[in-house]
Amino acid sequence: MRTLYLDNAATSWPKPGEVPRAVARAMIRGGGNPGRSGHAKSIEAGRQVLHTRELLAELFNVKDPSRIVFTKNATEALNVVLVGLLREGGRVVTTSMEHNSVARPLRALSPAGVTVEVVPAGADGRVDPRAVDRAIGSDTRLVAVTHGSNVTGAVNDIASIGTICRERGVRLLVDAAQTAGCIPIDLDRIPVDYMAFSGHKGLLGPQGTGGLFIRDERDLPPLLRGGTGSLSDREEQPEFLPDRFESGTLNVPGIVGLGEGVRFLLKRGVEAVMEHDRRLREILWQSVTADPRIRVVGDGPEAPEGARSTGVMSVVIQGVSPSTAGEALERRFGILTRIGLHCAPSAHRTMGTFPDGTVRLSWGVFTSEREIARAGRALLSIAAGG
Amino acid sequence: MFRRKERGRDAEELDGVATFFGSHHALRAESVLKKAGYAVRLVPGPREISPHCGVALRFSYARSEEAACLLRESSVQFEAVHLYPER
């Protein structure tokens, strides 16, 4: 039985072949610590890191690649903004679909005087931008919104939310962990102030990579301070980008691999990836909704006009707990999924699936229509008690 | 063939040195100026010029004003451009 990996929302697999090859090359033929020395190996490592930064800038349409800083994952990037901007308290508007990577830092900041206004998502898992507008008050310091839900795949309208935030003079932080590489993001057009992204999901890079786009670095201190290879004669942290936010040696092999993932996406086109993900969603949705015992959480192909989704679908099977279903999918059908609450308890509360959670299936660029149809048949078989 | 090309490149004297606060900007400067047709070479930053960054960029000092404009347009932050002939 061939294993079918449907947990791409946790981390994408497989990666384009050039990604692991580039990682190995960076370690075997490369070497050198970028920015730390003037010798050939250090300079070459620096060039490789810059190359990935430039590819990301191209993908997100960012004119100055220095505005993209590397972190170890999207969580760290989100923490840079949340902890940095809200260290002295303030009011934050966020949504009920957030992952714990936003919810937990906000909760931990409450002794510092941070108050949180949660905008509930609708039955389709999306947040109405007008509700965000209504929640913004004169003392709101930040709006933090997930671009795509890791539970339902529903994509929020960050262009409208960004426009509202710009008009109201409030900064916007977008969590693009689930959408970078899956949904086109044009940062030259969309007024987002900060965008956190994961490198190992839709961007197809190795784990341990991620980053943060920063439109304006003023008032934003770094989370970590330390060696940057620059201004070495001073004990103060450099103020300029990207060094302010990149203390300590970077994950060069990971970043080089990430560059190859992004290059693959630039060649294929993110629009094409989105269309592929949409087509697979339609096949799976049509397959499983034939059985009324299977409930698709969030929307299917009949999504509201213009609404988008990623390659993520959560289902609940009547009379079968998610853990039982997940185990059956793996043991009887060789299908790897993720069951439970997906680190997003509030999103499950919103969708009415707390505390049991769901079975989440998440596909990727290398998943075929035949494979997604196989997953649909497996769910139908489990629902039928077979 | 190769040697002749090298000699041709050296014909443009790399007597200017741009210094930077961080290597990211030195590498971006290399990329921006190379694309604009400059002969450039990254070198360990001369300590007597700047204590800041491990790498500096050599190019023709005669083109320093035009180069500075190009770098500013591309948001590359540099410290200064010095006349510093190769020894």
DSSP code of A100? H
Q: How far is A224 from chain B (nearest CA, A)?
A: 17
Query: What would the two tokens of residue B30 be?
Result: 């290399």
> Tell me: the pLDDT tens digits for A61-102?
999 999 999 999 999 999 999 999 999 999 999 999 999 999
Query: How far apart are the C-alpha atoms of B34 and B29, rounded to whole Å?
Result: 8
Across the interface, whether the CB atoms of A50 and B74 are under 8 A apart is answered no
Q: Are B24 and A255 in contact (CB under 8 A)?
A: no
Q: Is B59 helix (H, G, I), strand (E, B) or coil?
A: strand
What is the reported pLDDT for A57? 98
Which of B21, B23, B41 should we substitute to test contact with A (largest number of A Cβ atoms within 10 Å)? B23
Q: Which residue has the higher pLDDT, A230 or A310?
A: A310
| Option in A37, A47, A238 nearest B27 (CB) | A47
Q: Are A195 and A214 in contact (CB under 8 A)?
A: no
Whether residue A204 has pLDDT greater than 80: yes
pLDDT over 80 at A304, yes or no: no
Spell out which residues of chain B touch residue A34, defining contact as CB-CB under 8 Å: 23
Residues pairing with A198 in the sheet:
A210
pLDDT of residue B87: 78
The alpha carbon of A233 is separated from its chain's Cα centroid by a whole number of angstroms, namely 37
* pLDDT for A50 beyond 60: yes
Assess whether pLDDT exceeds 60 at residue A279.
Answer: yes
Dist. CA A375–CA A257, nearest whole Å = 30
Confidence band, pLDDT 50/70/90 cuts, at residue B1 = very low
Pairing of strands A4-5, A335-336: parallel
Q: Is A360 left (phi over 0), alpha (psi -120 to 50) or beta?
A: beta
**Residue A236: pLDDT above 70?**
yes
Give Dmax (Cα) for chain B: 39
Q: How far is B25 from chain A (nearest CA, A)?
A: 8
**Does B15 score more than 60 pLDDT?**
yes
Which of B24, B42, B52 to mutate against chain A (most A CBs within 10 Å)?
Answer: B24
How far from chain centre, in Å, is Cα A1?
31
- Bridge partners of residue B57, in order along the sequence: B18, B42
How confident is the model at residue B11, as a pLDDT? Answer: 63
Over residues A341-364, mean pLDDT:
94
Interface touch A229/B52, C-beta < 8 Å? no
Write down the pLDDT at residue B53: 62
A38·B51 Cβ contact <8 A: no
**Residue A231 has what pLDDT?**
84
Closest residue in A to B72 (Cα–Cα): A64
> How would you classify the pairing of strands A140-146 and A90-95?
parallel
Model pLDDT for residues B56-84, shown as the tens digit of each residue: 999 999 999 999 999 999 999 999 999 99
Q: What is the mean pLDDT of chain B?
A: 85
Q: Distance, in angstroms, between B51 CA and closest chain A CA?
A: 7
Per-residue pLDDT band at A221 (split at 50, 70, 90): very high
> Is residue B50 over pLDDT 90?
no
Which chain A residues have a beta carbon less than 8 Å from that of B77? 240
Taking 3-state DSSP, the helix, strand and coil percentages for chain B, each rounded to the nearest 5, stand at 40, 20, 40
Q: Letter for the amino acid at A268?
A: R
Judging contacts by C-beta atoms under 8 Å, the chain B residues touching residue A233 are 51-52
Mean pLDDT throughout A285-299? 94
| Nearby residues of A116 by Cβ (< 8 Å), 6 or more positions away | A91, A92, A93, A94, A106, A110
Q: What is the residue whose two structure tokens read 């949660």?
A: A118
Residue A215 belongs to what H/E stretch?
none
DSSP-assigned beta bridge partners for residue B53: A230
Say if residue A166 is exposed, middle or buried (CB neighbours under 10 Å; 0-12, 13-18, 19+): middle
* DSSP-based three-state secondary structure for A145: strand
Nearest CA in chain B to A243: B22
Name the pTM for this structure: 0.94
Quote the ipTM score: 0.82
Residue B3 pLDDT greater than 60, yes or no: no
Beta strand A338-340 with A358-362 is antiparallel
Task: Provide the token pair at A178.
Answer: 């689930």
- Percentage of residues in chain A having pLDDT higher than 70: 99
Tell me what pLDDT residue A307 has.
87
DSSP element (H, E) containing A212:
strand A210-214
Nearest CA in chain A to B45: A38
Domain extent listing, chain B: 25-83
For the segment A333-346, the average pLDDT, to the nearest whole number, is 95
Q: What is the pLDDT of residue B52?
A: 67
DSSP characters over A273-323: HHHHHHHHHHHHHHHHTTSTTEEEES--TTPPTT--B-SEEEEEETTB-HH
Assign a CATH topology to domain B25-83: Alpha-Beta Plaits (3.30.70)
A154-189: per-residue pLDDT in tens?
999 999 999 999 999 999 999 999 999 999 999 999
Mean pLDDT, residues A138-143 taken together? 96
Write down the pLDDT at residue B47.
Answer: 80
Best residue of A33, A41, A47, A50 to probe chain B, by most B CBs closer than 10 Å: A50
Quick check: B8 pLDDT over 50?
A: no
Question: At B4, is the pLDDT very low, low, confident or very high (cuts 50, 70, 90)?
Answer: very low
* Alpha-carbon distance values, A207 to A20, A29, A275, A315, A348 (Å): 11, 21, 25, 27, 26
Best mutation site among A67, A233, A243, A252 for testing chain B: the one with the most B CBs within 10 Å?
A243
Question: CB distance B24–A35 less than 8 Å?
Answer: yes
Cα–Cα distance for residue pair A159/A296, rounded to 1 Å: 27
| CA pseudo-torsion sign A19, A21, A22, A24 | positive
Angstroms from A243 CA to nearest CA on chain B: 7
Contacts of B54 in chain A (CB under 8 A): 35-38, 42, 229
